[in-house]
Amino acid sequence: MTDRYEQRMYINDVLARSEERTAARLAASTAPSDQPADLLAAAAQRLRDLATATTTHGSAHWIYTQRHDHPEYGGFGTVRTQDGKVVTGGGPARGGRRVPNVVRPYGEWIATMDPTLGLLIAHWLDDEAEFQQHAAAGPEDSEHALDFARAVLGQNGGQQ
């Protein structure tokens, strides 16, 4: 998906399907909010909200570009959206301009965990929430998804 239009259409499609599923699940749900399906749905919605907020002014696909080599840190670079907008910020001023940079391992991590991946994870959490709601499943059947959901929501039970 290198074409920006195709990428935007894909993201909009994933968002629409996820929102429809969440709305339907919430309308049908009478379970208290501490139920596994509700926890998973809340984490999925948080990821969708964050992904939407970070793509308002740029592409959902982020890229790390090495700018300077450094023997100790592996180098410094910039994380930008696919359409060139800067995601990272902070470098030293050079010629009156700020030079955005980030240490290479962090930049590569940030670029890997871009909004596109966030939407895919939200889709997985929606699937797990649906499984928890409609199957004869217990929390142990979605243990990894629940740990992830708790971490996304900042709850103590998650791996942080």
Pick the more confident residue, 87 or 10. 87
In this prediction, residue 160 has a pLDDT band, given cuts at 50, 70 and 90, of: very low
Exposed/middle/buried for 41, CB within 10 Å: 0-12, 13-18, 19+?
Answer: buried
Q: Where are the domains of the chain?
A: 4-57+116-153, 62-112
Q: Is 11 exposed, middle or buried (0-12, 13-18, 19+ CB in 10 A)?
A: buried
List the structure tokens of 82: 């696919």
Tokens of 101: 């940079």
Tell whether the torsion through CA atoms of 120, 125, 129 and 135 is positive or negative: positive
What token pair was written down for 38? 């509700």
- pLDDT for 102-139, tens place per residue? 889 999 999 999 999 999 999 999 999 999 998 888 88
- What are the structure tokens assigned to 138, written together? 């217990």
Beta carbons of 118 and 152 less than 8 angstroms apart: no
> pTM above 0.85?
no
Find the mean pLDDT for residues 3-27. Answer: 63
In the numeric block, which tokens belong to residue 119? 């939407």
Q: How buried is residue 25: exposed, middle or buried, by Cβ count under 10 Å (0-12/13-18/19+)? A: buried
| Residue range 57-107, pLDDT digits in tens | 778 899 998 888 888 878 889 998 888 888 886 555 556 566 668 889 999
> Locate tokens 């992904």: which residue?
51
> Residue written as tokens 């090495």?
66
